[in-house]
Amino acid sequence: MSTRSTARRVIAALAGVLLAGSMAACGNSDTGGDAGDGGNDKIVLGFSQVGAESGWRTANTTSIKEAAAAAGIELKFDDAQQKQENQIKAIRNFIQQKVDVIAFSPVVESGWDTVLKEAKDAKIPVILTDRAVDSADKSLYKTFLGSDFVKEGRLAGEWLVEQKKAASGPVNIVELQGTTGSAPANDRKKGFAEAIAANPNLKIVASQSGDFTRAGGKQVMEQFLKANPKIDVLFAHNDDMGLGALEAISAAGKTPGKDITIITVDAVKDGMQALADGKFNFIAECSPLLGPQLMELAKKVKAGEEVPARIETEETTFTQEQAKEALPNRKY
């Protein structure tokens, strides 16, 4: 009995080896490269990036390029220079080239249904990374990998509520928003507003887009300072705009981090340095290191495996003391 079952197991194992060998040979000899041919050709991933507007974005691009190389995935990378029309063009190119998977970080939330439908009709799975779209039809993409931006805004607001709980009079806040219509701008604004509603003394007196750039942050902060004699707090939707605003604040003869409390989002190296130096007061982290998870997902959707509809990035917050501790080991 036991000898026979051992023999059966050996035969089964041998058959498995032979089958695997023949499949590999089949894959190797298949140079056609058609999608879904079951061969072991390199996965081709078309990725449409927003642009290079911030330190966060540069770190995100590096993460994606490095992770693709490490995973043996062929990456077709396109930089849309913060324009939706460029992203739509890039996605259409990827469809024409018959890539295996398309991933993109949508610059704004709206206006993607048509091109996503085109990808679906071409049977190319789409992964959203970093930013979301507002499409009602969730079957237009496989998954969304990225941060909870509402939570980031809320954490920023909650910290401020705690800091200003003893304030007896109005606390005037100015807000530098990210790119108009983008998910992080919409959501960070929402989360922050919800949190500060806990204290009616906390009032947003001006709120405008600085497009997530240093130049934008500087320019809009200059206007804020001219128009508002009393600014107590700046909430900037990313580090870069906060860094740009530092110049405007110093030029206006005020001390950032003291005369004006500064809260930002991201926690890239330059932001963390400003926090450790006492120029910023608080940062809600947003991790750009999405590359490795994105490559895992690309492999899974290419193989037709089920993936969760939403994958959230883990993040934390930093005070000045925590930034001093974390800085030496910061990766981006």
The footprint of ligand GYE (CB under 6 A) covers 53-54, 56-57, 130-131, 184, 212, 238, 240, 265-266, 286
Residue 148: which of 109, 187, 106 has the closest Cα?
A: 187
Q: Least distance (Å) from ligand GYE to the CB of residue 96? A: 27
Number of C-beta neighbours around residue 60 at 10 A: 25
Beta carbon nearer to ligand GYE, 172 or 288? 288
How far is it, in rounded angstroms, from Cα 54 to Cα 82? 11
Beta carbon nearer to ligand GYE, 124 or 275? 275
Q: Where does residue 230 rank: exposed (0-12), middle (13-18), buried (19+ CB within 10 A)? A: exposed
Beta carbon nearer to ligand GYE, 158 or 239? 239
Q: Among all chains, which residue has been given the structure tokens 């928003």?
A: 177
Q: Least distance (Å) from ligand GYE to the CB of residue 204? A: 19
31 DSSP β-pair partners: none
Q: Where does residue 273 rank: exposed (0-12), middle (13-18), buried (19+ CB within 10 A)? A: middle
- Which letter does DSSP use for residue 256 in this model? B
Q: Least distance (Å) from ligand GYE to the CB of residue 238? A: 3
Beta carbon nearer to ligand GYE, 57 or 142? 57
Q: Least distance (Å) from ligand GYE to the CB of residue 77? A: 17
Mark residue 147 as left, alpha or beta (left: phi above 0; alpha: psi -120 to 50; beta: remaining): beta
Beta carbon nearer to ligand GYE, 124 or 286? 286
> For helices 84-96 and 113-121, what crossing angle results, to 10°?
10
Q: Least distance (Å) from ligand GYE to the CB of residue 12? A: 50
Contact 291, 67 (CB under 8 A): yes
Q: Least distance (Å) from ligand GYE to the CB of residue 63? A: 13
Beta carbon nearer to ligand GYE, 131 or 142? 131
Q: Pairing between strand 310-312 and 282-285?
A: unpaired
Beta carbon nearer to ligand GYE, 135 or 186? 186
How far is it, in rounded angstroms, from Cα 332 to Cα 329? 9
Beta carbon nearer to ligand GYE, 124 or 274? 274
Residue 84: which of 133, 135, 45 has the closest Cα?
A: 133
Q: Least distance (Å) from ligand GYE to the CB of residue 330? A: 15
Q: Least distance (Å) from ligand GYE to the CB of residue 103? A: 14
Beta carbon nearer to ligand GYE, 147 or 172? 147
How far is it, in rounded angstroms, from Cα 249 to Cα 255? 7
- Positive/negative CA dihedral, 103, 107, 108, 113: negative
For residue 139 the two structure tokens come to 């079957």
Angle at 21 between CA 19 and CA 26, to 5 degrees: 95
Q: Least distance (Å) from ligand GYE to the CB of residue 251? A: 23
